[in-house]
Amino acid sequence: MFKFLKIRKVQGRQYIPDIRKASVNQKFRGFPLLDSSLCSSCGKCRDVCPSGAISLSPLSIDMGKCVFCGDCTQNCPHESIRFSNFHKLASDSREKLVINPGRSAENYCKNAVEAKREITKIFGRSLKLRSVSAGGCGGCELELNACGNVNFDMERFGIEIVASPRHADGVIITGPVSENMAFALEETYKAIPNPKIVIAMGACAISGGVFAQSEAINREFFSKHKVDIFVPGCPPHPLTVINGILDFLGA
């Protein structure tokens, strides 16, 4: 009994009180900051980028492809590319994920995800999601699980991963969608009652990520169904995931 009380005391309060204002460690590679005045279009960053996220003249990074590996920063001779620790990267459209020089994180975040009031009207303060892991590395799943742990505790906002598609309001997809998972993903989506939303979590789900060139993946799902929230990262930080969904819900 005494031991139990001690455990309780040592555990303390683990939850992050204000998810909206919490920030991530300085070292975290989040929103990219590009400076075209320094860039000589030498192309070294593009050549080392493992996911083809970089375009030159003008310099841009597609956060839907970027895996935030930092290899471009290491190889740029002019320090044109930096990564800030800003983590609210989610967006409601694929185009918005392309970051151009001079774009600031605050400016990006202001209208990256438009709140869908009608969603809140239908679902209220409750959004139940079905997770489908489809061909990734398991990294996104680790972070999606972390969203529900004692630190991030997204269930306090009514966002929950449920065990059956019949109980769900939408699907959260991780991984590039392997050929071998394409059918199961489609079936799961079909089994979710209307209206429903789609969340693509991680570079793999958004664009195929580092597996985009593989013949073993099948991205038909995304040509058939509209994605409502894109959550960049490899894997995305739990705060990126939760804040993205909360923005979408207008919470």
Partner 1 sequence: MENWISEKNGQSLSLREVPVLRFAELREDIVEKCRHGMRIAGFFGHREEKTLRLFIVLASDAESTLLVSSAVFSEDEKSYESLTPELPQFSMFEREFYESYGIEPLGHPWLKSVRFPHDGAIKKNEADYPFFKVGGEGIHEVGVGPVHAGVIEPGHFRFMCDGEKVIHLEIHLGYQHRGIEKLMTFPGAISGKSVLAESIAGDSVIANMMAFCAIAESGSEGTPPLRAVVIRTIAMEMERAAIHIGNLAALAGDIGYLTANAFFGATRTYVINLLLAFSGSRFGRGLIRPGGIVYDIDPEIRKAVISSLKMVKDRVILMGEQMFDFPGVLSRFQRTGVVDAATAHKIGMVGLAARASGLKTDVRSDHPSGLYRFSPLHRLSMETGDVFARAFLRYLEIKQSLDFVLEQLEELSDEGSIMKSPAPLKADSFIMSLVEGVRGEIAHFCITDSDGNISRYKIKDPSFNNWPGLAYAVRNEGISDFPLCNKSFDLSYCGFDL
Q: Where along the sequence are the contacts to partner 1 (CB under 8 A)?
A: 3-4, 6-8, 10-11, 14, 24-25, 27-29, 48, 50-51, 67-71, 74, 83, 130-146, 148-151, 161, 163-164, 175-176, 178-181, 184, 188, 209-211, 213-217, 234-235, 237
Q: Which of these segments, 69-77, 89-97, 102-110, 162-170, binds ligand SF4 (CB under 6 A)?
A: 69-77
Q: Which is nearer to ligand SF4, 63 or 159 (CB)?
A: 63
Find the binder of ligand SF4 among 30, 64, 170, 175 (CB under 6 A).
175
Q: Pairing relation of β-strands 197-201 and 170-174? A: parallel
* Residues 39-58, interacting with ligand SF4 (CB under 6 A): 48-51, 53-54
- The CB-of-191 to partner 1 minimum distance in angstroms stands at 10
Given ligand SF4, partner 1, none, residue 88, with its beta carbon under 5 to 8 Å by kind, binds: none
- The CB-of-68 to partner 1 minimum distance in angstroms stands at 8
Find the binder of ligand SF4 among 33, 34, 39, 69 (CB under 6 A).
69
Given partner 1, ligand SF4, none, residue 232, with its beta carbon under 5 to 8 Å by kind, binds: none
Find the binder of ligand SF4 among 137, 173, 239, 249 (CB under 6 A).
137
Find the binder of ligand SF4 among 80, 91, 131, 174 (CB under 6 A).
174
Residue 251: C-alpha distances to residues 161, 162, 245 (Å):
18, 21, 9
Find the binder of ligand SF4 among 202, 238, 242, 246 (CB under 6 A).
202
Three-state secondary structure of the chain = CHHHHHHHHHHCCCCCCCCCCCCCCCCCCCCEEECCCCCCCCCHHHHHCCCCCEECCCCEEECCCCCCCCHHHHHCCCCCEEECCCCCCCECCCHHHEECCCCCHHHHHHCCCCCCHHHHHHHCCCEEEEEEECCCCCHHHHHHHHHCCCCCCHHHHCEEECCCHHHCCEEEEECCCEHHHHHHHHHHHHHCCCCCEEEEEHHHHHHCHHHCCCCCECCHHHHHCCCCEEECCCCCCHHHHHHHHHHHHCC
Q: Which residues contact ligand SF4 by CB under 6 A?
A: 48-51, 53-54, 61, 66-72, 136-137, 139-140, 174-175, 202-204, 209, 234-235
